[in-house]
Structure 1
Amino acid sequence: MDDQKPGLKAIVEAAKQAPGRGLPPVHLWNPEHCGEIDIVIRRDGVWMHEGSPIGREALVRLFSTVLRKDPDGYHLVTPVEKLKIAVEDLPFRAVAVRRDGDDLILTTDVGDEVRAGEADAIVVETDPETGEPAPRVHVRRDLWARITRSVFYELVEMAEEVDGRLVVRSGGRAFSLGAVA
């Protein structure tokens, strides 16, 4: 990653504007599509560049702040460039959960904290063939985090049974985790 291509350099510079000032307004930027960059966010949450893991957590966090999902896929976006990347599942993983009063706070693998509620829903879809749950939580705009198995188990432990379903409450909403077996 040291010999950065021009597009990668611009992405790093745009993302550096985020610390201490919130997230960059990528939803307001409409640059020309500049092609693709060989970055893949694997199903397990590892960010890869040209076939190698991006080992610097700070760089992954930086890239995550300029990530946007458009109708044609995921892109790293700056005010002047838009580069398409590949995402195997969802771009983030929810790797921790804690209670804050009546609310659930989920933390992603890139350091975002999400207070589950009206704006940031917990959704659990079930694979029709295997019956396996596929839980996710909304992070921002059209970006979601896959809830890891261990965090899902924690949510199940916090759940109450309501009409044959396991339910957790947060942000004034009830979120179904699935039917009681």
Structure 2
Amino acid sequence: MTSSPGSIIRMEDTLKAILPEGKFSGPPPPVEAWNPACSADIGMEIRADGRWWHDGGEIKRERLVKLFSRILRRDADGTTWLVTPYEKVIVHVADAPFLAVRVDRDGPPGPSQQLTFNTSLGDVTIAGPAAPIRVETDPETGEPSPYVLVRGRLEAKITRSVFYELVDLAEPDPDGRGLLGVWSQGQFFALGPAA
């Protein structure tokens, strides 16, 4: 995919759309509603360790990465984009676009507790019916890969240390399926077999 010839993207307009008040606070912009005609593949990627790269070089400016993370969108076909009202750029994602680096439990243990995850880029998501936790297991190694939904179709991979914290909070499955899992906002999320 390539940009339309002669397309001019005004940085000032783009930044106003992404950061209306010039701050990262507040909800992300409405990327689901933006459907620009111009698209491009310029070698953007997010590697499995959460680092962002462009055209073979790592993007080391944290503020720029945070800015980009606010305009990510994953479409139903699995394609991830950086989206502005004027153009969209494909992002090649090795695993998940975010890393969940912290979890906090609020409330008494059990169904009424709430698990709040923080990502390395400052996103906060509360696990529950609208933000499920899921665990994929490698069929060859048995290694778990846990994720939590952040927004839209974008997930954060739960880091190993945070997953261990979840395992410490785990309880037996209330339906007696031989699984251990955690509760958040009244929803039980299986982490793996009890044995």
Same fold (TM over 0.5): yes
1:27 aligned residue:
32
Question: Which sections of structure 2, spanning at least 5 residues, go unmatched?
Answer: 1-7, 108-112
Q: When you count strand as a share of all residues, which structure comes out higher? A: 1
1:15 aligned residue:
18
Question: Which sections of structure 1, spanning at least 5 residues, go unmatched?
Answer: 1-5
> Aligned with 2:166: secondary structure?
helix
Q: CA deviation at 1:9?
A: 4.2
Q: CA deviation at 1:72?
A: 5.7
Asked if 2 retains the 8 angstrom alpha-carbon contact of 1:11 and 1:78, the reply is no
1:115 aligned residue:
126
Asked if 2 retains the 8 angstrom alpha-carbon contact of 1:12 and 1:62, the reply is no
> Aligned with 2:157: secondary structure?
strand
Taking the TM superposition and a 5 Å limit, the aligned residue runs for 1:83-98 are 83-98=89-104
Give CA deviations for 1:121-165 in whole Å, capped at 9, x if unaligned: 000121111111111001111101111111100000011123321
Taking the TM superposition and a 5 Å limit, the aligned residue runs for 1:109-148 are 109-148=120-159
Q: Which amino acid counterpart does residue 105 of structure 2 have in structure 1?
A: R
Aligned length: 176
- What is the Cα-based RMSD across aligned positions, in Å? 1.9
Which runs of at least 4 in structure 1 moved beyond 3 Å after TM superposition? Answer: 6-12
Asked if 1 retains the 8 angstrom alpha-carbon contact of 2:133 and 2:148, the reply is yes
After superposition, the Cα gap between the structure-2 partners of 1:7 and 1:132, relative to the gap in structure 1 and judged at 3 Å, is: farther
Give CA deviations for 1:91-148 in whole Å, capped at 9, x if unaligned: 1111110112210001111111110000000001211111111110011111011111
Distance 1:33 1:51 in 2: 23
1:46 has 2:47 as partner:
no
2:188 aligned residue:
174
Structure exhibiting the larger radius of gyration computed from Cα positions = 2
- Give me the TM-score of the superposition, normalised by structure 1: 0.89
Q: Percent identity?
A: 49
Asked if 1 retains the 8 angstrom alpha-carbon contact of 2:99 and 2:119, the reply is yes
- Give me the TM-score of the superposition, normalised by structure 2: 0.83
